[in-house]
Amino acid sequence: MTLTREAPPAVPEAPALPKTRRGDGWANTIMVAPATVLYTVMLIVPVGLALYLSLTDWDGFSADPAFVGAANYLDLLDDPELRRAALVTLLVAAAGTAGLNLLGLGFALLVNGASKANTFFRIVLFYPHVLSALVVGFLWSAILGTNGAVNNLVTKWGGEVLPFLSDPAWATVTMIGVLVWAGFGVNVVLYLAGLQAVPHSLIEAARIDGATRWQVFRNVTLPALGPSVTVNIVLSLVTLLKTYDLVVSLTAGGPAGQTQTVAYLILWNSFHDARLGFGSAQSVLLMLVTAALAFVVTRLRRRGELAVHQ
């Protein structure tokens, strides 16, 4: 996300007016302290604690978790469940990111421009995003399940039941499909914001020079959208890597645990199996992988953006 960039520049100091007065320092402290303290206690301290707990065997109840060193991390290395969940998560993140961004950019180009119809299209494309992922999953499982709406029609017309959610491979694809259905509206909106920054004169000039629609898109629009593409890819990746709610409601991790994501496994191990130390180690791993992927994508994209500008 662009959030990594520096804070907005401070407003230039106005001359001749009193900049600081006695008491302003105190006022500043009073204004930032509550937010800072609460944020530190409930967000920064927990991140540190996750690191510490990952080195213990905490079960969630005992007051004094025993220190077990790197044992949890060593367990992670040869945990077949985690290996499978990691694969599923990476597949969901990669295919989902591709889907969200191709559809996001494609539809942004289709509904660009101010008109009543376009506003309506944007709202319809965006609305699933405001529903909770939990509800979206239950809804699609009622539509695609073995006794669901679609299979009812299929069997009524003499077809075989389609295993949307009951076959491991199908279930993974269905999950990716639902994630894309529910999420690409956000990417449409973000790409629309990016499209506003594409210089209109450049597009017109290219058109006058006889460029085709595709040439204009490839050589003018897409390069100008560079930063938007980066934001969208990183945002999609970071969001998809922590897919949890939808797994709970769409497949409940099934069939036979084949659609469990890492986030699902973390909470399952932590709270169902009361292995919060082990779950913390998985959390630390997920946090590191997410940060590393976001960093790599940003770096690669920046190189790409620079290459385009040269």
Site for another protein in 121-160 (CB under 8 A): 121-128, 130-135, 138-143, 145, 147-149, 152-153
Burial of 278 (0-12, 13-18, 19+ CB in 10 A): buried
Q: CA-to-CA distance for 109 and 128, rounded, in angstroms?
A: 20
Residue 72 binding another protein, by CB under 8 A: no
Rounded to whole angstroms, how far apart are CA atoms 303 and 74?
36
Site for another protein in 285-304 (CB under 8 A): 286-287, 290-291, 294
Q: Choose, by CB under 8 A, the member of 4, 200, 256, 272 that binds another protein.
A: 4
Q: Nearer Cβ to another protein, position 24 or 204?
A: 24
Q: Residue 148 CB, nearest distance to another protein (Å)?
A: 8
Helix or strand run (H / E) with residue 110: helix 80-110
Of residues 230-269, those binding another protein (CB under 8 A) = 231, 238, 241-242, 244-245, 248-249, 252, 263, 266-267
Residue type, 112: N
Note whether 10 binds another protein by CB under 8 A.
yes
Of 66-74, 105-113, 166-174, 204-212, the window that binds another protein (rule: CB under 8 A) is 105-113
Interaction of residue 17 with another protein, rule CB under 8 A: yes
217 binds another protein (CB under 8 A): no
Find the shortest distance in angstroms from Cβ 268 to another protein: 12
The count of chain residues that interact with another protein, using the rule CB under 8 A, is: 105
By residue count, the chain amounts to 310
> What are the residues whose beta carbons fall under 8 Å from the beta carbon of 244, sequence distance 6 or more?
133, 261, 263, 264, 267
Which has the closest alpha carbon to 96: 224, 221, 246, 218? 246
| Residue 11 near another protein by CB under 8 A | yes
- Spatial separation of the C-alpha atoms in residues 148 and 293, rounded to whole Å: 37
